Homo-oligomer: A and B are copies of this chain.
Amino acid sequence: MSDEEQRIEQLIRSWAVAVHDGDIDAVLAQHTDDIVMFDVPPPDQGVRGIDAYRATWPGFFEWQRGAVFDIESLHVTAGEGVAFAHALLPCDTPEGLTTNPDRRLRLTLGLRRENGDWVVAHEHHSFPLDG
């Protein structure tokens, strides 16, 4: 793994901790103003822009108090100025994980390098559709 890939892995792991802690400032850090997020719930067209991205989090923080949001596996591919990463996360209440222990949140991120720092420009969060 390259030094840049290690930097990005640290960025993503810190972001996941911030999500679990409900720390909105740390969740928003190192995200671009023009971020496009394909979230688990609608809208189908995606959440567009940092203000809309910010607005998605309070409801999720409320839901996931006492729940799990841990990176189980993470793979980063970084070039000079652009990178992407994909990860799997148990993301559920303790009761949900007992019922569906293999259920995973699938997460993909797209990043750009700006002024020497990596920033997240795209997130795609989903669960598989059963049946």
> Is B36 a contact of A86 with CB atoms below 8 Å?
yes
Measured in the bound complex, the distance between the Cα atoms of B75 and A130 in whole Å is 28
Q: What are the residues of chain B within 8 A of A124 when measuring CB–CB? A: 86, 106, 108, 124, 126
In angstroms, how far is the closest chain B Cβ from the Cβ of A7? Answer: 14
Q: What are the residues of chain B within 8 A of A77 when measuring CB–CB? A: 82, 110, 112, 121-122
> Is A46 a contact of B79 with CB atoms below 8 Å?
no
Cβ-neighbour of A128 out of B39, B78, B106, B108 (below 8 A): B39
A98 in contact (CB, < 8 A): no
A116 in contact (CB, < 8 A): no
> Is A84 a contact of B110 with CB atoms below 8 Å?
yes
The 8 lowest CB-CB distance pairs between A and B, nearest first, are: A79-B82, A126-B126, A84-B110, A79-B81, A38-B106, A44-B104, A84-B84, A79-B79
Q: What are 30 A-B pairs with beta-carbon distances under 8 A? A: A36-B75, A38-B86, A38-B126, A38-B128, A39-B128, A41-B128, A41-B130, A43-B128, A44-B88, A44-B102, A44-B103, A44-B104, A45-B88, A45-B104, A46-B86, A77-B121, A78-B82, A79-B83, A79-B112, A80-B80, A80-B82, A82-B83, A83-B84, A84-B110, A106-B126, A108-B110, A108-B124, A110-B110, A126-B126, A129-B129
